[in-house]
């Protein structure tokens, strides 16, 4: 092989390695786990150490099959720390079978029935002069705003969540990690 071909081959190999690395870098790690864009929301969420409470709640509510479905969905995924901000005993109470309807209502107020990436949401916020209503599958409406480059969501009770990780691509939609549980008016 002549020197010119060797240089071209080396450049091609370097390009492939770089482009493979960039493809992996597109989806952030969540809760110490790699998020695979070819897996669905539930398949990825179960691997995040920061979302064990959310996974337990989704399972108790019977929503795992739905969120494993075709979608597309946008899930505003509260972390364990977000659930820990709720009054003591709230999570344990919600996980009881007799509170399943309330749990379903709360969880589905974190889900939108289409894929909405952060840039698109910021565009809608800008088009609506600073606040964009986000209707959820749970029937509640979140109000989306942004400060600097951080998207904020306000629920019907006045709680404000910040999107701490945006655009975690899934095979059936997208996850945006949030730091506060969104609550519907009950």
pLDDT band, residue 67 (cuts 50/70/90): confident
What's the pLDDT tens digit per position in 153-166? 999 999 999 999 99
Distance from C-alpha of 119 to C-alpha of 79, rounded to nearest angstrom: 22
Residue 18, pLDDT > 80, answer: no
* pLDDT value for 24: 41
SS3 for 160?
Answer: strand
CA distance 101 to 80: 21
For residue 119, is pLDDT > 50?
yes
SS (H, E, C) 62-112: CCHHHHHCCCCEEEEEECHHHHHCCCCCHHHHHCCHHHHHHHHHHHHCCEE
Dihedral pair phi/psi, residue 71, rounded to 5°: 70, -150
Per-residue pLDDT, 94: 93
Helix axes 100-108, 52-60, angle to 10 degrees: 120
pLDDT for res 103: 93
Report pTM: 0.83
Structure confidence at residue 46 (pLDDT): 85
Cα–Cα separations (whole angstroms), residue 91 to 95, 98, 107, 181: 6, 13, 12, 11
First-to-last alpha carbon distance for the chain, in angstroms, is 73
Structural domains in the chain?
A: 28-178 (2.30.180.10)
Check residue 96 and give its pLDDT: 93
How confident is the model at residue 42, as a pLDDT?
A: 87
pLDDT > 50? residue 15:
no
Which DSSP category does 51 fall into? G
């Amino acid at each position: 092989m002549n020197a010119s071909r060797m240089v071209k081959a080396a450049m091609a190999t370097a390009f492939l390695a770089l482009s493979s690395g960039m493809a992996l870098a597109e989806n952030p790690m969540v809760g110490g786990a790699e998020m695979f864009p070819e897996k669905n929301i539930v398949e990825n969420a179960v691997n995040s150490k920061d979302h064990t409470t959310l996974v337990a709640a989704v399972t108790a509510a019977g929503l795992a099959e739905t969120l494993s479905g075709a979608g597309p969905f946008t899930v505003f995924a509260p972390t364990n720390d977000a659930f820990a901000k709720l009054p003591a005993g709230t999570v344990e109470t919600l996980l009881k079978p007799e509170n399943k309807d309330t749990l379903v209502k709360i969880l589905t107020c974190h889900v939108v029935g289409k894929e909405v990436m952060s840039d698109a949401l910021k565009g809608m916020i800008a088009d609506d002069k600073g606040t964009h209503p986000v209707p959820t599958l749970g029937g509640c409406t979140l109000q989306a705003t942004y400060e600097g480059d951080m998207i904020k969501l306000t629920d019907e009770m006045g709680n404000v969540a910040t999107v701490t990780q945006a655009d975690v691509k899934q095979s059936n939609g997208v996850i945006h990690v949030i730091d506060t549980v969104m609550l519907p008016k009950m």
